[in-house]
A and B are shown apart, each in its own frame.
Chain A
Amino acid sequence: MSRKNSSYAGKILRVDLTNGSITTEDFDSRLSDLYIGGRGVASKVLYDEVPPEIMPFDPENRLIFSPGALHGTGAPSASRTTVTTRSPLTGMHGDGHAGATWGGELKRAGYDLVIIQGKAAKPVYLFIDNDQVELRDAGKLWGSFTSQTHAKLCQDSDDREMCTVSSGPAGENQVRLAAVFHNGADKGASARCGLGAVMGSKNLKAIATQGTGDVGVADIEALKAAYQDYLDTIAVDP
């Protein structure tokens, strides 16, 4: 499929930690037309797949990672990634957003959405390198702060910088304030709603991602003009 005419990558990655299955689905244009991306699409997925009887720490709760529609193009105010789940803090739909670069790297790897379900038997992390997606043992990472986790996972990378989302000891212990951090705690934080606690409850330590694909755009000149317009508008009245 051609990615160059769209800033969507075109695929959804679904990982079931209980049985270790990793599958991809097409990113339906009906989803993107109605819900655009990021928070919209993830909320729809949560609504469809997590009925009220599933509690936040149940394995069947979903943890959904979704970069915004324009993330990866450098469009201002549009380079964010959302993490969505049924929150253990509020009991309701919960999400948190973050900047940093993980979401863009996910799109460069070829995915618009990662849906995590189930619970791993022991700590694991998800490794994504373009088409190569696998679950790896996270025993050596368990207990680490997210900046340490990010640094350790970066050692697996070559010249391309690895990007990660991870939760720290708070998430591992299912503290309801735990955050999910993007590229380590000093870079980006999805800090609302206890997202990290759900990640810890699934025994998922991190998602490490690198990708070499391009993030496309339908009309480069229009994007450039819109960006210039945005700058001019701000300059007139910050």
Chain B
Amino acid sequence: MAKKKRIVYANRPWEATGVCSGCRLCELWCSVTKNGGFNPHRSRVRVVGVGTGIDIPVTCQQCQDPSCKAACEFEAIVYNEKLKIVEVDEDKCTGCQACVGACPYGIITIDPVSKKAIKCDLCGGNEPVCVAICPSNVLAAVDDMGAAGYTRRRFAAVMAFDDEAHRYMPGGEEPIQKKLEKRG
């Protein structure tokens, strides 16, 4: 029985080239594979520039209990038995954008040409083009165990910020003491 996959940002921040370079080849090749022409606005993977030199690819998380499907009032978001993910039924989609507003990752969107919802469909079960083309190899199609590893690490990173922030509280550790000593 084939395992459910999703495409994740498989970053390796300990490597110089292990992070997204912002080249957006994934967007270009996703759109040309789906539509026959290059157009990042019609890609199902989107790279977001969150700061100068900091770019992050956002991918459909193929949720087990998808918000997009729950929001759709036209039953246009349907389950694909073979891939174990949901897809958009273009015949039923009215382009109402309810799914777009519901997605917690902001990744399902409206195609500016067809005016209907589009989302990652794992290239229909073929080898995902974005994974193949990424020059930094930071996109990977992983199963549930693989995805959980990234989710766990990212949640841990959020909690690490809590630890880090606490060091700068009054009575905190070295960084703040050294700063006070330097000032004299």
Contacts and interface: CB of A to CB of B under 8 A. Distances in A.
B38 A214 contact: yes
Given A74-B25, A220-B32, A215 B39 contact: yes
Contact of B31 (A3, A214, A224): A214
Interface in A1-52: 3-4, 7
A94 interface: no
Contact of A216 (B37, B41, B42, B133): B37
A215 B37 CA distance: 5
Interface in A74-111: 74, 108
B37 A214 contact: yes
A74 B36 contact: no
Nearest to A72: B38
Interface string B23-61: 111001101100111110110000000001000000000
Contacts of A213: 37, 39, 113
B174 to A, nearest CB: 35
| Range class of the A interface residue count | 10 to 19
A7 B133 CA distance: 20
Contacts of B42: 212, 214
Contacts of B41: 108, 160, 212
Interface in A199-226: 212-217, 220, 224
B36 A214 contact: yes
B39 A4 contact: no
B95 interface: no
B135 interface: yes
A159 B39 contact: no
A108 B40 CA distance: 10
B170 interface: no
27 contacts: A4-B36, A4-B37, A73-B32, A74-B23, A74-B24, A74-B25, A74-B29, A74-B38, A108-B39, A108-B41, A160-B41, A212-B39, A212-B41, A212-B42, A212-B112, A213-B39, A214-B32, A214-B35, A214-B37, A214-B38, A214-B39, A215-B38, A216-B36, A216-B37, A216-B38, A217-B32, A220-B36
